[in-house]
């Protein structure tokens, strides 16, 4: 089954748009995990078992693993999800983007080494750098469009030919680059007006929407602005807000229920 099909199945059969971000920081996870040889995996395993029922996707951010030399924990985490919860797709958040020959290696990294179902990419270098990802028909390519951070305005909002750069990205991604229908766009929850503006020109292309929880994005505003007419179309990520909650399962369930109120 393709990434898109897996996501749609989760949306519809499990009634959830929640993406659990697996961004474990060695300095912040409970001390009981730190003596293990695979501390991040052990922590993630507990989070996954508590949240799987409420998750439409998992999204590990690669820097939390390779930044501290714990790539093995990332491999084990993704294997664990595939083996124990095979219906839940994994987004590798790596924000890759480079010339074609290098991009081919990033494709290997995401899909052969880590066996992810989807990867985030940066479109700054242009369409040819995305092509190796887009050629993987069954995998998702999630393109940064309007990100959740304050500095998103520095470049993404620059007006070119009468419209902001992020609108050019949205149009190119969905009208020129999406031949295999495997593109999604990153649009942050912290900017609901932009979510609505982008939704109005791209039809049903799904969003990956981070910025809920620790970054303060408003669930009602984000869902209302970003959903498709059938009440889906969004993969809404929370990382710190779930993994460091006193009860991660409860936090994931509450986020699912809050999102569902506005679908
Ligand atoms: P929390 O703020 O802890 O929920 O984490 C947000 C996660 O989403 C991190 O893994 C970020 O790297 C990622 N992210 C953003 O925060 N903003 C964006 O615009 C895009 C992403 C992303 O591509 O996932």
- The tens digit of pLDDT for each residue in 191-215 reads 999 999 999 999 999 999 999 999 9
Confidence of residue 169 (pLDDT cuts 50, 70, 90): very high
Tokens of 47: 């989070």
Is the CB–ligand 1 distance for residue 24 below 6 Å?
A: no
Residues in the chain: 263
- Give me the chain's average pLDDT, please: 98
Give the pLDDT of residue 200. 97
Tokens of 14: 């499990």
User: For the chain, what are the domain ranges?
Assistant: 3-261
User: Which CATH number is associated with domain 3-261?
Assistant: 3.20.20.70
For residue 143, give the nearest of 164, 163, 162, 125 by alpha carbon: 125
Each residue of 51-70: pLDDT tens digit? 999 999 999 999 999 999 99
Task: Give, for 81, the enclosing helix (H) or strand (E).
Answer: helix 71-84
Each residue of 212-258: pLDDT tens digit? 999 999 999 999 999 999 999 999 999 999 999 999 999 999 999 99
59 Cα to the center of ligand 1, angstroms: 9
Contact 163, 169 (CB under 8 A): no
In a 10 Å sphere around its CB, with 0-12 CB exposed, 13-18 middle and 19+ buried, how is residue 85 labelled? middle
Tokens of 216: 């303060």
Confidence of residue 7 (pLDDT cuts 50, 70, 90): very high
Give the pLDDT of residue 180. 98
In a 10 Å sphere around its CB, with 0-12 CB exposed, 13-18 middle and 19+ buried, how is residue 223 labelled? buried
Is the CB–ligand 1 distance for residue 241 below 6 Å?
A: yes
In a 10 Å sphere around its CB, with 0-12 CB exposed, 13-18 middle and 19+ buried, how is residue 73 labelled? buried
Share of the chain above pLDDT 70, in %: 100
Each residue of 73-121: pLDDT tens digit? 999 999 999 999 999 999 999 999 999 999 999 999 999 999 999 999 9
Contact 78, 86 (CB under 8 A): no
**CA–CA gap between residue 25 and residue 138 (Å, rounded):** 31
Is the CB–ligand 1 distance for residue 240 below 6 Å?
A: yes
Give the closest residue (by CA) to ligand 1 atom 14: 210
**CA–CA gap between residue 103 and residue 60 (Å, rounded):** 20
Phi and psi for 146 in degrees, rounded to 5? -135, 105
Atom nearest to 95 CA in ligand 1: 23
What's the mean pLDDT in 115-138?
Answer: 98
């Amino acid at each position: 089954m393709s990434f898109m099909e897996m996501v749609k199945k989760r949306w519809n059969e499990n009634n959830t748009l929640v993406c659990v971000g697996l961004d474990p920081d060695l300095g912040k996870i409970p001390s009981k995990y730190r003596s293990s040889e695979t501390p991040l995996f052990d922590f993630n395993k507990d989070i996954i078992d508590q949240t799987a029922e409420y998750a439409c996707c998992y999204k590990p951010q690669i820097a939390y693993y390779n930044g501290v030399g714990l790539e093995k924990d990332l491999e084990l985490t993704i294997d664990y999800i595939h083996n124990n919860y095979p219906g839940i797709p994994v987004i590798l958040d790596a924000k890759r983007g480079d010339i074609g020959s290098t991009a081919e290696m990033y494709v290997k990294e995401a899909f052969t080494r880590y066996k992810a179902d989807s990867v985030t990419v940066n479109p700054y270098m242009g369409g040819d750098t995305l092509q190796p990802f887009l050629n993987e028909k069954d995998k998702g390519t999630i393109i940064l469009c309007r990100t959740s951070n304050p500095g998103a305005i520095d470049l993404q909002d620059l007006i070119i030919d009468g419209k902001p750069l992020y609108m050019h990205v949205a149009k190119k991604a969905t009208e020129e680059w999406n031949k295999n229908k495997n593109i999604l766009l990153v649009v942050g929850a912290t900017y609901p007006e932009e979510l609505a503006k982008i939704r109005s020109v791209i039809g049903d292309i799904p969003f990956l929407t981070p910025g809920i929880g620790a970054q303060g994005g408003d669930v009602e505003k984000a869902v209302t602005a970003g959903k498709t007419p059938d009440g889906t179309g969004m993969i809404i990520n929370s990382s710190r807000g779930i993994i460091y909650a006193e009860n991660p399962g409860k936090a994931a369930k509450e986020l699912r229920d809050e999102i569902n109120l506005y679908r």
